[in-house]
Amino acid sequence: MAAQRPTASSRRPLLCLCLTAPTIQGDLAILKDYGGWADIAELRVDCLSAEERAHAARLPSLTALPVILTVRRTADGGFFSGSEADRVRLLSSLVGAGFTHVDLEEDLSAPALDRASEAAGLRVIRSLHDPAGVPADLHARLERLARSPGEIPKAAVTPRSSTDLDRLLRTVESVEGRERIVLGMGEAGFCTRVLAGKIGSMLSYASAPGMAAAPGHTDPRTLAELYRFRLISPRTQVYGVMGNPVSHSLSPLIHNRGLAALGVDAVYVPFLVDDPAAFLPAAELIGVGGLSVTIPHKQAVLPLLGASDGPVEAAGACNTMWKTEKGWAGTNTDIEGFLQPLRRAFGGAVPAALSAVVLGAGGAARGVMAALSSLSARVLVLNRNRERARDLAASFGAEWGSLDASGAARATGAALIVNTTRVGMGDSADQEPLPSYAFSGREVVYDLAYGRKETAFLSRARAAGCRTISGEEMLLAQAYLQFRTFTGREFPSDVKEELESAARSGGLAGA
């Protein structure tokens, strides 16, 4: 699976659209809306209502796409709850209806159905499912899965940790020489769905939004357009973001837009990582060349770095790693990413001896303190946990206090207020970190939090006449620097303009 090694399938991976509506009419609507991004469809007959199953044979003739026939039982995450005999009868009644493939489980013993499928010219996908984990004997089971040379073995398993993901990828690499379908279900397995072309899986499944056929499905448009799924091959360079949680991250949107605009053969993937030390061997196996590091790993990765630079030292945290011949090197683009929008807000240069208030004393606050320290700013740190405020302030020769009305009173007169607490992030946009603070209208107010809408803290500051800087502006600035570190190229200016305009008008998620 290493970057240059030819894998089991050197062909481009196929994007399979799962048809999971309760009616044939509903499935046709999914095909109409999303079929344009797909190479093949899978009719999940088990998702159809009992009456509609009688019409399943019509579907293959109603689409130009090849169609896989699947009747998934409840034990494997599907909806068919009848007996195995009933399921085999249903499958047997459909094999001659124009489907191109049929998905049959490893433990299904139905020789007549196997023969009927072969006689009808269907290719059998012989599948094993584990909705709870990655089986210890996965290698042996994958090796003996196909019952004849024409069958396609498929493993759909559920990595629950970085260790599981590493084990899954190593197993896949060790199974050589034939077409296969391998996918990790759930968020920790999402990367395998995007990287099918890299890990030698002949196809990846996608579902219409809100109709996921299995945990971790994304929609075909996102797979095809954002991740440029079909272009991913064993030679594609992989970058990504590791975090926990990570599904909310806007970094894949930013980096993939930049990579696509430059026409670079590379993709940027979200990796749900519970343990960076366990994840890095898996990343190396895939051939990951660079990683953004986000919550909660920015400090945990420090011992894993073979080399780091001044910004890492100053912030005591690393948000950017890249692979070198000697191991992983790290830098921190949060500091400069914080400073660039700040300079813009002050018209190009931040005044000397600026008085600033930093709300919060976590990892992000440390980076902000390092940035403000480089400006020789006078800083007051306010935090809910007073000890953390005191410790952070002590490291930078700053003052400290509580995140309450007494702190708000001490903040009065500051030229810059920065929120680095988690308050305002994501779904908490309506909450404020320091509601008792009265804006004078003369402050620059910077909120590292971002989400689907402007935070209440920034809205109130803007209404009071303050200049405001959103978390998305910092996110973009630090991402452009990471992009240069990863690719050696500047982030394309036309995409920059689009993303910045989206950040100003309603948020990046709409870009």
Binding site for ligand NAP (CB under 6 A): 295, 334, 360-365, 383-385, 388, 403, 420-423, 425, 433, 448-450, 471, 474-475, 478
Give the shortest CB-447-to-ligand NAP separation in angstroms: 8
Half-sphere exposure (CA, 13 Å, Cβ side) for 96?
A: 6
Cβ-based nearer residue to ligand NAP, 17 or 425:
425
Residue 236, Cβ neighbours under 10 Å: how many?
A: 17
326 is catalytic: no
Give the shortest CB-254-to-ligand NAP separation in angstroms: 11
Closest CA to 97 of 24, 146, 33, 155: 24
Cβ-based nearer residue to ligand NAP, 237 or 320:
320
From residue 22, how far is each of 25, 50, 374 by CA, in Å?
9, 9, 60
Q: Parallel, antiparallel, or unpaired for β 320-324 and 288-293?
A: antiparallel
Place of tokens 């996908």: 125
Cβ-based nearer residue to ligand NAP, 168 or 335:
335
Query: Considering Cα of 347, then 350, then 356, then 360, what sign does the dihedral take?
Result: positive
Residues 482 and 279: their CA atoms lie apart, in Å, by 20
Cβ-based nearer residue to ligand NAP, 13 or 341:
341
Cβ-based nearer residue to ligand NAP, 107 or 387:
387
Q: Which of 298, 323, 326, 453 is catalytic?
A: 298
Cβ-based nearer residue to ligand NAP, 27 or 334:
334
Give the shortest CB-92-to-ligand NAP separation in angstroms: 53
Scored b (16 or more CB within 10 A) or e, 471-488 reads: bbbbbbbbbbbbbebbbe
Give the shortest CB-474-to-ligand NAP separation in angstroms: 4
Cβ-based nearer residue to ligand NAP, 122 or 449:
449
Q: What does the angle CA 462 – CA 464 – CA 467 come to, to the nearest 5 degrees?
A: 40
Residues 451 and 285: their CA atoms lie apart, in Å, by 33
Give the shortest CB-10-to-ligand NAP separation in angstroms: 39
AA identity, residue 42 = E
| Length of the chain counted residue by residue | 511
Give the shortest CB-400-to-ligand NAP separation in angstroms: 12
In the bound state, the residue with its beta carbon closest to ligand NAP is 362
Residues 40 and 205: their CA atoms lie apart, in Å, by 9
Cβ-based nearer residue to ligand NAP, 165 or 448:
448
Q: Where are the beta strands (DSSP E) in 74-170?
A: 101-105, 123-130, 152-157
**Segment (H or E) for 271:** strand 266-272
Give the shortest CB-356-to-ligand NAP separation in angstroms: 16
Closest CA to 240 of 300, 288, 307: 288
Cβ-based nearer residue to ligand NAP, 12 or 467:
467
Q: What does the angle CA 339 – CA 270 – CA 218 come to, to the nearest 5 degrees?
A: 130
Cβ-proximal residues to 450 (8 Å cutoff; 6+ apart), any chain: 250, 425, 470, 471, 472, 475, 507, 508
Q: Where are the beta strands (DSSP E) in 314-466?
A: 320-324, 327-331, 355-359, 378-383, 399-402, 416-419, 444-447
Strand order through the sheet with 237-243: 266-272, 237-243, 288-293, 320-324, 327-331, 307-308
95: exposed, middle or buried (C-beta count within 10 Å: 0-12, 13-18, 19+)? Answer: buried
From residue 120, how far is each of 63, 97, 185, 236, 317 by CA, in Å?
19, 9, 31, 37, 60
CA 252 to chain CA mean position, Å: 7
Give the shortest CB-471-to-ligand NAP separation in angstroms: 3
Give the shortest CB-358-to-ligand NAP separation in angstroms: 9
Which residues are catalytic, by number?
Answer: 298
